[in-house]
Amino acid sequence: MTQAATVQPPLNVLEIDAAELSAGPDLMAELSAGRLNVALIRNALSAEQANTLVERVEAGEGASQLTHVEDKFQIFTLGLALDTAQSIGQYLDEAKRFHPVAEHILRDIPGGTRFFHTLLSRAAGRPVTLPEHPDGPYNPLTIRRLPNGGRIPPHCEQEQLNRPAYDHIKTLIDTSCIISTYLTLRPPDTGGEVMVSTLRWVDVEASVIPGERSFVDPYIEKHPSMTFLPRPGDCILFDGGRFFHRVNTVGGRTRWTLGGFLAESPNHEFVYFWA
């Protein structure tokens, strides 16, 4: 009898428990080198901690900091993300206002907004730090809200580097690899998966990048992909800088996540994390 061949997944994926990070591989180095495309860190927070954060924001904590990013796709964030800021000045002003709000929402999470840096430092085996602009620190995280019908269309984080707000951070980081990361606070009833495609930034022509955002909808379905739906308290890191990805349409209850982006310093001695 002929044994069926094992089908290899299109992406290299590692699943690891948060408690095992210090003894595991340098996830940032593996992602940067392309030996790993997706890392799923289980139990970064407990499901109870994740649910508490959702209850707080749904009760109105931080409501004054809610940004309606995109009407068409129903994308909202608590805290202004650098990739949606009109200028670095606007971003830093909003970051200054949001930082104490975020600390209040995360008040009983060990380390507050720094817990993500601590988690990722253990994953990378080196310091993870918040970028500093001469006019103030960057945003430590954002909390993203996708209600019923909300989605995030296909995009690639390399697009961010073309935007004026990125002029400063480009002087701090190795721009060849930007890692996307988020922690699931509450998944929706249906949908809401992140789909990571094997279509890469280097595969597309300039004609599909009008202005500062790409339009790859006609191409992405032709490439193999994988979908991920982390559980509450799980954290996912993936090579969102080089690989196109999207968030599938949310059904039912609101999808809540918390996250940002990572990139190494040019000498690779430490890692920057911002939102």
How many whole angstroms separate alpha carbon 124 and alpha carbon 251?
A: 34
Residue 110: partners with Cβ closer than 8 Å, 6 or more residues away: none
Strand partners, 269: none
Would you call 78 helix, strand, or coil by DSSP? strand
Q: Which of 180, 196, 192 is closest to 255 using CA atoms?
A: 192
- Give the torsion sign (CA, 75, 169, 262, 90): negative
Q: What is the DSSP string of 114-176?
A: GHHHHHHHHHHTS-EE--EETTEEPP--EEEEE-TT--EEEE-GGGGGGSGGGTTGGGTS-TT
**Amino acid 201: pLDDT:** 87
How many whole angstroms separate alpha carbon 7 and alpha carbon 109?
A: 41
Say what the pTM is: 0.92
Residue 127: partners with Cβ closer than 8 Å, 6 or more residues away: 121, 270, 271
How many whole angstroms separate alpha carbon 233 and alpha carbon 40?
A: 11
**Amino acid 216: pLDDT:** 74
Q: What is the DSSP string of 187-254?
A: --SB--PEEEEEEEGGGS-GGG--TTS---HHHHTTS-EEEE-PPTT-EEEE-TTTEEEEEPPPBSSP
75 contacts 150 by C-beta, under 8 angstroms: yes
How many whole angstroms separate alpha carbon 179 and alpha carbon 263?
A: 6
CA 97-102-186 angle, 5° bins = 140
Would you call 90 helix, strand, or coil by DSSP? helix
173 contacts 261 by C-beta, under 8 angstroms: no
200 contacts 239 by C-beta, under 8 angstroms: no
> Which DSSP letter does residue 2 get?
P
Name the fold adopted by 13-58+79-274: Jelly Rolls (2.60.120)
Would you call 49 helix, strand, or coil by DSSP? helix
264 contacts 177 by C-beta, under 8 angstroms: yes
* pLDDT digit string (tens) for the chain, length 275 residues: 455 556 678 999 999 999 999 888 999 999 999 999 999 999 999 999 999 999 999 999 998 888 888 888 899 999 999 999 999 999 999 999 999 999 999 999 999 999 989 999 999 889 999 999 999 999 999 999 999 999 999 998 988 888 889 999 999 999 999 999 999 999 999 999 999 999 998 887 655 665 566 677 777 888 999 999 999 999 999 999 999 999 999 999 999 999 999 999 999 998 999 99
Question: Domain locations in the chain?
Answer: 13-58+79-274
**Amino acid 202: pLDDT:** 87
> What are the structure tokens assigned to 91, written together?
């971003």
